[in-house]
Structure 1
Amino acid sequence: MGFSDLANSQMVIAVLTMVAVAGTVFTLVMPVFERDGLKSRMKTVALEREKIRARERARLATEKGDTRVSLRNQPKKQVKNLVDKLNLRTALADENTQDKLRMAGYRGTGPLYTFLFARIVMPLILFVIALFYVFAFLPATLPSFTKVCAALFVGGIGVFAPNVYIQNRITKRQQSIRRAWPDALDLMLICVESGMSIEAAFRKVADEIGIQSIPLAEELTLTNAELSFLQERRQAYLNFAKRTGVDGVKNVTMALIQAERYGTPIGHALRVMADDNREQRMQEAEKKAASLPPKLTVPMIVFFLPVLFFVIMGPAVMQIIATFR
């Protein structure tokens, strides 16, 4: 090995040593000069969260204000007179109808009169529209009796249209409440264990959960008001469960009623019910995940397998055609 090789080796060792020393100094010294970005990031996140919360609270307050205005409004005079004249409240409505309207978010007498009015007007409107369509656009060779029967069938759908609309509203409202209820229970548990009363906990949770579920925030606010004004607190809890129609809410309300009756700690009952609702939501997610492969079977058979069949068999078919040609 010559002098040049030795010099090159020493040069490489010197460069590597310098790089190692520089890396060590950089590792030891840079943390001293680095700024702690965690606090600034947390502050930014907190400010953004407050902005979102303020925006959602403003929207919630606006929607609540609109709801209160609609609840104070009485039904239109013409609608009320027609419903009372035909005695539709006795013929078409019962306590179950009023409960369904409450579960859909419609409270007061105004929505009830509107619902009953829609049940008698909707079939007539659909019948007239269908009758005009069948006589104006369908071939004249069809018998008039067939056209009238088709119009009557469309009009008959209008009898069930208001009920279908209310049921759809109930389903969407319950889905929103069911998704946000475990988080609301956790917040309620934190409030109760921090020393708040159940009324203050309901009010605080209603303010916070409005970002996630406006229907649940409305129900909690109404329940808080009933806890303050009703003579029996048990009735306020029962009304809360009845208005929502969600099994998780019913279980929690029964636990709260028993805790107040027997003097057991409310925090313990809320903790148990919160864990139970968390497990139920996880089980529902697992159930949906398990049902996904069967649901994908039909689309795969209809859309993927024919394409795969043509891709695999296409060249062979083309060769056979070319051979016989």
Structure 2
Amino acid sequence: MRNDLLLFSSLMLIAGAIIFVVYLYQSGHKKNIAKYIKNDKNHSHSKKIIKDFLDIIVPSSIVMNDREISDKIVSAGYYTFQYAHLYLPIKYVLLVLGAIVLVLISYSSYSAMTIVAIVASWTVIVLIIPDAILATRIKAYRSHVSKQLPYIIDLLAVCVQTGMTIEASLSYLAREMESFEPKSSLLLKRLNDRAAIVGMNEALEELYSHIPTSEMRSFVMTLKQSLQYGASIYQTLTVLSADIRKVSMLLVEERIGKLAAKMSVPLILFIMMPIVILITVPGILRLMSGA
């Protein structure tokens, strides 16, 4: 048992060392590699292949830089979160401490292979589950913004119709929506802040990169067209909000149409099969008793 534990400890140390080396390599040299690939035009294709291969064999759940983590957290709607740099250290500390605790608890009760399986399961949970939760939160946030976008467009159209500019309308809506729609208010505030720094066109492009949905793309293209040509967009905004609502209604109808097919399987398994059994079993029992 002691030899098995020593073997297991050695494997854990080797795995931890490999993860640590990969983390240092990826975080310390990724920018340099990208810069070198960009500058070296003669060997750009081969270097790009090497970089893509490294990205494939090293999962993002194991190695991410602070910028990538911060972008994911912002994409989930947490604009004021300032501790993105602690995400990976906390994950690895939990991994190591949890593995040590599990080994100490299971040392006298399970075999070495069982302990390895338990620690491997804990490793998968710690490395994958937080990223899966964050990805689910990003998807939910984008869906929420897309659902609220028609109402934002209607309010923006009313502000534009009263004579306000697009920039003033967005700033006004960001202030007024804070009490009843804080998520959309933060999104508009972020758009206004970026517009003051890089310009409205670039801020709209960043908005679409932040919420890459078809509804947001139509909204961004409409605003950019108005800013470029100076055309009135009241009628365009009202038509756009109506179209987004129609598309949402069509998606709901499609889901309702698929619901009948999805319900057929549990109906067959949990209702029809028990009824068939209840009908046939008494006759079978009578035949068996008569025989």
Give the structure-2-normalised TM-score.
Answer: 0.68
Corresponding residue for residue 299 of structure 1: 266
Contact 2:159 / 2:169 at 8 angstroms: preserved in 1? Answer: yes
Deviation by residue 1:272-312 (Cα, 9 ceiling, x = unmatched): 32133112211211121122122212221221123322343
In angstroms, what is the RMSD of aligned CA positions?
3.1
Q: Residues of 1 paired with 2:235 and 2:256: CA distance?
A: 32
Does residue 1:221 correspond to 2:189, yes or no?
yes
- State the AA in 2 paired with 1:176: H
Identity of aligned residues (%): 21
Corresponding residue for residue 145 of structure 2: 177
Corresponding residue for residue 98 of structure 2: 126
Q: Residues of 1 paired with 2:121 and 2:184: CA distance?
A: 39
Equivalent of 1:194 in 162, 170, 183: 162
**Residues 231 and 159 of structure 1, relative CA distance in 2, 3 Å threshold:** closer
**Residues 221 and 276 of structure 1, relative CA distance in 2, 3 Å threshold:** same
Equivalent of 2:123 in 150, 155, 159: 155
Corresponding residue for residue 103 of structure 1: 75
**Residues 188 and 132 of structure 1, relative CA distance in 2, 3 Å threshold:** farther
Equivalent of 1:250 in 201, 213, 217: 217
Does residue 1:113 correspond to 2:89, yes or no?
no
Q: Count how many residue pairs are aligned between Structure 1 and Structure 2.
A: 235
**Range with bigger deviation, 284-293 or 181-190:** 181-190
**Residues 243 and 165 of structure 1, relative CA distance in 2, 3 Å threshold:** same
- State the AA in 2 paired with 1:169: R
3-state SS of 2:231 partner: coil
Contact 1:260 / 1:266 at 8 angstroms: preserved in 2? Answer: no
3-state SS of 1:172 partner: helix
Corresponding residue for residue 65 of structure 2: 93
Does residue 1:280 correspond to 2:252, yes or no?
no
Q: Residues of 2 paired with 1:116 and 1:126: CA distance?
A: 15
Give the structure-1-normalised TM-score.
Answer: 0.61
Contact 1:223 / 1:236 at 8 angstroms: preserved in 2? Answer: yes
Structure 1: unaligned runs, 5 residues or longer: 1-84
3-state SS of 1:245 partner: coil
Deviation by residue 1:169-203 (Cα, 9 ceiling, x = unmatched): 21221122122112222222222223232234324
Q: Residues of 1 paired with 2:92 and 2:222: CA distance?
A: 42
Deviation at 1:205, TM superposition (A): 3.6
Deviation at 1:315, TM superposition (A): 4.9
Deviation at 1:132, TM superposition (A): 4.0
Contact 1:256 / 1:269 at 8 angstroms: preserved in 2? Answer: no
Deviation by residue 1:120-149 (Cα, 9 ceiling, x = unmatched): 22322332343345336xxx4x53133124
